[in-house]
Copies of this chain bind each other. A is one copy, B any other.
Amino acid sequence: MSTLHTVNKSPFGDSAFNSCLAHCKPGDAVLLIEDGVYGAVAGSAVAANVEARAGDVSFYVLDGDTKARGLAAGKLIQQVKPVGYDGFVDLVAEHDRTQSWL
């Protein structure tokens, strides 16, 4: 039993990402989409929050959204895995529920 969490807003402008991190459980997955992908940028003021949870939570980023925003793979936190829309579908299917942090 595990949850897929999606976050679609920048962690610098909105508290949704931090609230998601504070509520997700070991074994859950967090998928960053739309402006949420900025949460995956290495060396930012929130990167440490991701790195701190990367041991027990899986982090993903929607590839089309990072490319749109000019974030090359090398700019992203190492533990965050890029997926396409098809990978997004798989993540939803693999987890028991999806919670959108709007």
Contacts and interface: CB of A to CB of B under 8 A. Distances in A.
Interface residues of A, number: 5
Q: Is the interface of A mostly helix, strand, loop or mixed?
A: loop
Copies in the complex: 2
A13 B15 CA distance: 5
Interface string A1-34: 0000000000011111000000000000000000
Contacts of A13: 14-16
A62 to B, nearest CB: 23
Contacts of A16: 13
Interface of A: 12-16
Q: Across chains A and B, which 5 residue pairs bring their CB atoms closest together, nearest first? A: A13-B15, A14-B14, A13-B14, A12-B15, A14-B15
